[in-house]
Amino acid sequence: MSESQKTIEIEVLRYNPETDQAPHLQVFQVPFADDMSVLQGAQYIKDHLDGSLSFRWSCRMAICGSCGMMVNGEPHLSCQTFLRDYYPARVRIEALSHFPIERDLVINMEGFIDKLESIQPYIIPKEKRSLAQGEYLQTPEQLNAYEQFSSCINCMLCYAACPQFGLNADFVGPAAMALLHRYNMDSRDGAAEERMELVAAEEGVFNCTAVGYCSEVCPKQVDPANAVNINKTNAAKDYFLRFLSPKGGSK
């Protein structure tokens, strides 16, 4: 390392369930340039200082969503967060908040995957069509109704930002609700009534206390807080319509 090389201290949350009773912090001196991301800093530690450091990453282009970490206490994609924004202060990186830690910066995603599966994240057609009938057509206006909510990359930053998920791990949470809303708003889908049962359930949208931090940290501007608020209204409307219509609910 040359004398002119900039260095920065990166404090890393370490946890090996086989040897550690609890997570602890370890500090590393890392050389960096102004275009070096937090993810590259973690990779330098793994490649040159401690090969046992564990973390997830893949694309390095803010597409895969796998490199989410807490950076100085805030949820970020580490591939698009730069060390220069913290220099010369120390940077602390930790596993995403509110999730069980498997090892170091790697979280257990099983609960999140269960939530995604529960909302049936796929189009369930209103009516069956044969191949001879051709594809399901959609206007630009119909696409605009849900397109924003289809940009979620399942990075889970919104869950790390959500105080209610931190208090109640059963809460369906912002990303799953945004995806649920994406399919409910799709003109080709016919399963909105089924999904609304989850929206109005005990672990559904009414757990949300409208902090809105989930939308602030979203790297794709999905605005999950808006999806939650819209579905609070939809759930309340469905509840009252049940008293006015013998078949109940809105379609």
Pairing of strands 68-71, 91-94: antiparallel
pLDDT in tens, 8-61: 999 999 999 999 999 999 999 999 999 999 999 999 999 999 999 999 999 999
Please answer whether residues 79 and 62 qualify as being in contact, where contact means their C-beta atoms are separated by less than 8 angstroms. Answer: yes
pLDDT tens per residue across span 169-221? 999 999 999 999 999 999 999 999 999 999 999 999 999 999 999 999 999 99
Q: What is the pLDDT of residue 47?
A: 98
The strand pairing partners of 125, in sequence order, are 189
Percent of the residues in the chain that have a pLDDT greater than 70, as a whole number: 96
Mean pLDDT to the nearest integer, 82-100: 97
The strand ranges marked E within the chain are 7-14, 24-31, 68-71, 74-77, 91-94, 101-103, 106-107
Question: What's the mean pLDDT in 91-95?
Answer: 98
**Residue 213 backbone phi and psi in degrees, to 5:** -65, -25
| Domains recognised in the chain with CATH numbers | 7-107 (3.10.20.30), 110-244 (1.10.1060.10)
pLDDT in tens, 124-183: 998 888 889 998 899 999 999 999 999 999 999 999 999 999 999 999 999 999 999 999
pLDDT score of 147: 95
Please determine, for residue 250, whether its predicted confidence score (pLDDT) is greater than 70: no
Closest-CA residue to 251 (of 117, 172, 121, 237):
237
